[in-house]
Structure 1
Amino acid sequence: MGESGDDAHTEKDRNKRWEMAFKARMRQIIPGLFLGNVEASHKQDMLRENRITAIVSLTDARWVWWNTTTREAGIPEQRHKWVQCADSSTQDLLAYMNDICDFIDQMASPALLSSTSLEVQPEHYESNVEPRDVPSEAILIHCDLGISRSPTIIIAYLMRKYAMKQDDIMEFIQFKQKVKPSANFLRQLQVWEEVE
């Protein structure tokens, strides 16, 4: 018997998701701060093109090629923060948030440091970054897929930087890149918001 139309459609969707997972992706969220996946973290041309000078890696395994790749792309080891963590219902990111936010501030470009407010009106969002919009230095925050852990940290950082609520930051980021932090991480962001 042949494959039904629904089965073929499901297989096509599954293949598209796998392709998306393994294709290097990074998107500027605000000038000087990029969200990406693990594939983007070791693509030298992509790192150089986006002027990435520091990286925060949120993964459950240390990737062997990072040290060589990031050095070749001009990113020294002290500008690469790696936090071993999993996208699980028990992972505690809250314990790392302050330290990671401090690291981002230490590595921040002048454009990121000087930013004092975040436009939250959707009509101001741009989905495509023009080369002139890319500052001379930028930080890449990534996890495996760029969907849950890394957006959680970016949300936490922007909440702290702009003294804004989680929902407002999440809305802003969703216009830039579709993300889906886990329920566990959303609860931790709520605590982050409560303790300011």
Structure 2
Amino acid sequence: MDVRFAPNSQELRDLIQGPGDVEWRYDMRHQCQEILPGLLLGPFQVSKNQVTLKELGISHIVCIRDVKEAFSVRPRFPDAFQYLVLDVQDSEEQNLIRLFPKAQQFINTALSLGGRVLVHCNGGISLSPAFVIMFVMQHYQLSWEDALHLVQNRRYCISPNGGFLTQIKEYESIYKANLAVSMFPANHQAAPRRKREDDDDEEDDEREDKRPLVDANPPYDPDAMES
């Protein structure tokens, strides 16, 4: 979905600021919050309550867990919801950018079908917010700072670790480069090749035109000297 906002526009500032009438309470970290229409972020605790999930209209769940937590942080209701499970290491060395496309595709598919997606890790503080920030960044074509503030202004307790924050910054340049390539007209990409082919044809014609009309090195005929 191509969503663009003019830099420093009021619409963009309102989007990043989020609802101004929410008073954050400590116990809200145990709940989930809607980051953008149809995309919710929260802790594993929410994903264990099927009644709550139904009340929220959740249809898809992205379960992001440290490999050591697999025995407890797992899909609880596979017959009721569609799941994507990502096994990672909750450490600063974990490569999130490599895993993000799978999560992005899952979320985009769910939203395009009119579904509602819950993205969670164990606490909903560092790991799952990093994925949601990258998704929001590309979805709204924001800078990493604006994307971070947008998510944080809806779930105040998030705090991606230093390694994740570095990758979030790196992802801004990655998605913008991919966007620039995708927007580059296909006919411009083909032009250089066409030009090279035309230049080659012209060079061939020039070589043909420059061929001598009389052979500069005729075969030696010894009888020609005697006459």
How far the C-alpha of 1:68 sits from its partner, in A, is 4.6
Q: How far did 1:151 drift?
A: 0.8
1:33–1:138 Cα contact (<8 Å) kept: yes
Q: Percent identity?
A: 27
Tell whether the 8 Å contact from 2:44 to 2:73 is kept in structure 1 after alignment.
Answer: no
Which structure would you say has the larger RCO, counting Cα contacts within 8 Å and 6 or more residues apart? 1
The match for 2:32 among 7, 26, 32 is: 26
TM-score if structure 2 supplies the norm length? Answer: 0.59
Mark the CA change 1:64 to 1:149 in structure 2 (over 3 Å): closer, same or farther: closer
| More displaced 10-residue stretch of structure 1: 57-66 or 86-95 | 57-66
**Matched residue pairs, number?**
147
Contact 1:143/1:150, CA 8 A, preserved across alignment = yes
Paired position in structure 1 for 2:171: 192
1:155 aligns with 2:133: yes
Q: Report what 1:52 is aligned to.
A: 58
Q: Which runs of 4+ in 1 moved over 2 A?
A: 61-71
- The alpha-carbon deviation at position 69 of structure 1 amounts to 2.5
Q: State whether residues 33 and 154 of structure 2, in contact with CA within 8 Å, keep that contact through their aligned partners in structure 1.
A: yes
The answer as to 2:144 corresponding to 1:166 is yes
Aligned-CA RMSD value: 2.2
Residues 1-196 of structure 1 aligned to structure 2 (within 5 Å): 24-60=30-66, 61-63=69-71, 66-71=74-79, 74-75=80-81, 79-109=82-112, 137-178=115-156, 179-196=158-175
Query: When the two structures are superposed, what TM-score results if normalisation uses the length of structure 1?
Result: 0.68
| Deviation readout 1:107-134 (Å, 9 max, x if unpaired) | 11566xxxxxxxxxxxxxxxxxxxxxxx
Unaligned runs of 5+ residues in structure 1 are 1-18, 112-136
Query: Hey, what's the Cα distance between the residues in 2 that align with 1:93 and 1:68?
Result: 24
* Contact preservation (8 Å) 2:63, 2:75: no
Contact 2:48 2:76 in 1 (8 A): no
Offset of 1:86 from its aligned partner? 2.6
In structure 2, runs of 5+ residues without a counterpart are 1-25, 176-227
Tell me how far 1:148 sits from its aligned partner: 0.6
Deviation at 1:144, TM superposition (A): 0.6
